[in-house]
Amino acid sequence: MEQRDTGFELLVRYLHKARGLDLNQYKLNYLRRRIGVRMRARGCQDYNSYLQVLRLEPEEFSRLVNDLTINVTEFFRDEDVFEGLRREVIPTLIRERREMGMPSLRMWSAGCATGEEPYSLAILVHEALSREGGKEDWNVRILATDLDEAALARARRGRYGSVKLLEGMNPEDYFTRDGEDYLVREEISRMVKFMRHDIASRPPLRHFDLILCRNVLIYFEKGRQRKILEGFCDVLRRGGVLVLGKSEAILFGEGLPLVPYQRRLRIYRRT
C-alpha cells in the first residue's frame, strides 16, 4: 500500500510539474479510479510502470486527460433550467443592462465540454435580442472554458450529429445543414470564444453578468469547491447570476454573497 501511494504521488507530481496538469484538487477516489482505467488499458501493474508509459508516449497523456474529464453534455441540458433562463433571467439581464445604458453582456460557461452549453446560451441571447429589436447595438461575449483540449477543438468546430432545442425554436434559425450534421451559424458562434482554462485556477476575466458551472465541481474536494465558488462570486458583477448544476447545488455553502433567484433551478444572484 505504501509502495502504491508513493508511486501514485510520483505520478501526480510528474503530471503537474512536467505536463501542467494539476490533479491535487481532485477527489482521490475519483483519480485512482480513472487512472486505474488507463493503467488496465495499457497493461500496467503499478503506477511506476504507467509513469514510464506516460514519459515515452505523448499520446497517452491526451488519453488520460480524456478519461479524467468526462465530457457528457447536450444542448439545453436540463430543459427546465434553460426555460428559466429564457423566460426570466436573460430578459431581466438585458433590461437591466439597457437601463444602465450599457448594451453588453459578458457570460462564462465554466467546464463547457464540447460546446453545447455555451451555444445554448448564445441561442437564448440571440432569441431574446431578436425579439426586443436593436440586436446590432449589443456586444455579447460568452467565454467558454474547459481543461480538455480535445473537447474544445470539437466545440470550436461547432458541428453536431444531432441537436435538441427548446419548444418553439427552429433549428434552421441557428444551424445550417451539412449532410447529416448541424453546423452552428456564424451569428451564434461569433458570440462564443473558447479557451483552455483550469477551473481550479484564478477566473480568467471579471465583471460577468452570468456564470454557468454545471456538472463540473463534483470532481473536486469540498475545500476546492468552496474556493471555486468564492472565485465566481469575486468576478460576478453585483446582481450577476450564477447557474449551478444538480451536483453543484448541494455543495452550496453558507456565507457566500449570493441569494437564491430561482432556488429550484439552482440559479442564484450576486448580492
Ligand X SMILES: C[S@@+](CC[C@H](N)C(=O)[O-])C[C@H]1O[C@@H](n2cnc3c(N)ncnc32)[C@H](O)[C@@H]1O
* Footprint of ligand X (CB under 6 A): 69-73, 77, 111, 113, 117, 146-148, 151, 198-200, 214-216, 219, 245
Least Å distance, CB 66 to ligand X, is: 9
Least Å distance, CB 69 to ligand X, is: 3
Task: Show the CA angle centred on residue 138, arms to residues 76 and 243, nearest 5°.
Answer: 35
Closer to ligand X at the Cβ: 115 or 138?
115
The dihedral through the CA atoms of 79, 83, 84, 85 has a sign that is positive
Query: Which CA distances in Å does 87 have to 93, 151, 152, 156?
Result: 11, 30, 29, 28
Closest residue by beta carbon to ligand X: 69
Closer to ligand X at the Cβ: 185 or 214?
214
Closer to ligand X at the Cβ: 44 or 81?
81
Please report which helix (H) or strand (E) contains residue 211, including its range. Answer: strand 208-213
Least Å distance, CB 215 to ligand X, is: 4
Closer to ligand X at the Cβ: 121 or 129?
121
Closer to ligand X at the Cβ: 200 or 211?
200
Number of H-type helices and E-type strands within the chain? 12, 10
Task: Show the CA angle centred on residue 227, arms to residues 226 and 229, nearest 5°.
Answer: 65
Please report which helix (H) or strand (E) contains residue 244, including its range. Answer: strand 236-244
Least Å distance, CB 145 to ligand X, is: 6
Calpha distance 155→171 (Å, rounded):
18
Closer to ligand X at the Cβ: 215 or 262?
215
Least Å distance, CB 108 to ligand X, is: 11
Least Å distance, CB 5 to ligand X, is: 23
- Cβ contact 142:108 at 8 Å: yes
State the chain's maximal CA–CA distance in angstroms: 65
